[in-house]
């Protein structure tokens, strides 16, 4: 059962593990990212960031969509993490249904503009977010579960 689908350019880190993990108590974190899935040392690095009692799967977008749709994790509580908005769209295009996404950490870099605290988007990312909103995905902007939820759908148009 998916308990959180989050866009966060840092993926597995304190906010996810301590903040969201302590509230949602997931059995597994799934990172869906083609580049990280292709790199053994990055897979090991991210897997080591989770506590030993929390399972970690690092999969390509295609593998993640297939395994999530196939019900492989259906008996577990999952946090699904992606680095960028385009990954959400890619998973949807691969047939994985998405109703809501937590946009928790897209940090400042050159060319990005602030949408809310801890969410900065460039023009391409904003276009992807608009497409997600158009497809009916609720975009929930907040860093931690106790933070006020900000609906980003109207802010990305």
CB 43 within 8 A of CB 24: no
CB 106 within 8 A of CB 124: no
Residues catalogued as catalytic: 13
- Phi then psi for 141, rounded to 5 degrees? -95, 110
Burial, 68: exposed, middle or buried (Cβ in 10 Å; 0-12, 13-18, 19+)?
buried
Q: How far apart are CA 152 and CA 51, in angstroms?
A: 31
CB 138 within 8 A of CB 99: yes
Q: Residue 139, SS3?
A: strand
């Amino acid at each position: 059962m998916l308990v959180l689908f989050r866009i966060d350019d840092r993926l597995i880190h304190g906010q996810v593990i301590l903040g969201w993990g302590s509230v949602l108590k997931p059995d597994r974190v799934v990172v869906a990212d083609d580049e990280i899935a292709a790199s053994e040392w990055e897979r090991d690095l991210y897997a080591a960031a989770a506590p030993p009692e929390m399972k970690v799967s690092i999969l390509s977008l295609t593998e993640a969509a297939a395994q999530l749709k196939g019900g492989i994790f259906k008996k577990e509580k999952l946090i699904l993490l992606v680095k960028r908005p385009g990954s959400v769209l890619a998973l949807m295009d691969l047939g994985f249904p998405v109703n809501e996404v937590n946009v928790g950490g897209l940090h400042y870099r050159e060319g990005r503009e602030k949408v809310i605290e801890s969410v900065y988007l460039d023009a391409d990312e904003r276009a992807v977010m608009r497409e997600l909103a158009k497809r009916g995905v609720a975009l929930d902007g907040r860093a931690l579960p106790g933070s006020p939820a900000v609906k980003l759908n109207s802010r990305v148009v």
